Amino acid sequence: TATLNLTINYSTSSTEDVTACDTYNWNGVDYTNSGVYTYSTTNANGCDSTATLNLTINYSTSSTEDVTACDTYNWNGVDYTQSGVYTYTTLNASGCDSTATLNLTINYSTSSTEDVTACDTYNWNGVDYTNSGVYTFSTTNANGCDSTATLNLTINYSTSSTEDVTACNTYNWNGVDYTQSGVYTYTTLNAAGCDSTATLN
């Protein structure tokens, strides 16, 4: 009579489905590509233990954008008014990091104001102005942004007068003795600093 006291221990196996971003560490190894990986060892009973990893690696994304703008630039809901390098991080369609970098150059609009007093007419940027007022001229500066010039213009006017005089022998007018009939003119400046022309008949 033979008696067998038999103990059967069993091998074990496991399967794991994993989705990760960029890299996944499994049993001390970094995996950066999707695939099916196995790891074999022995279980507590000394039998084979095989683990299978069904790995999906999704990748982070990044982008860089060079932008030149005037005065302000709105990017992802934020207004930027100074040049600089800005980053914005969100998640891409795979649920991994998506980092956008903005290389921003801000150029600025310019403005100037000029106070001018002139007689009768003033030519500004090719236009003759004959009335006092505030005038503006818009163009673009060297950076391609708005350039607005403001002219505060005061127009003073020249004056003239005519005088008919009949005299005997001689007539003194503005310090000069006239002894002959004629039409004479005298030019000076009026109180506004513009020409004042008097005519003597």
Alpha-carbon span 92 to 58, nearest angstrom: 10
Q: What value does the mean pLDDT take over residues 117-131?
A: 98
How many Å separate Cα 3 from the centre of its chain?
93
**CA pair distance 60, 109, nearest whole angstrom:** 38
pLDDT tens sequence across 72-113: 999 999 999 999 999 999 999 999 999 999 999 999 999 999
Q: Count other C-beta atoms under 10 Å from residue 147's C-beta.
A: 16
Q: What is the pLDDT of residue 7?
A: 94
**CA nearest neighbour of 199 among 174, 175, 177, 179:** 174
| Dihedral sign (CA 32, 34, 37, 43) | positive
Q: What is the pTM of this model?
A: 0.68
Q: What are phi and psi of 37, to 5 degrees?
A: -120, 145
- Cα gap 166→186, rounded to integer Å: 18
Q: How far apart are CA 133 and CA 135, in angstroms?
A: 6
| Mean pLDDT over each residue of the chain, to the nearest integer | 97
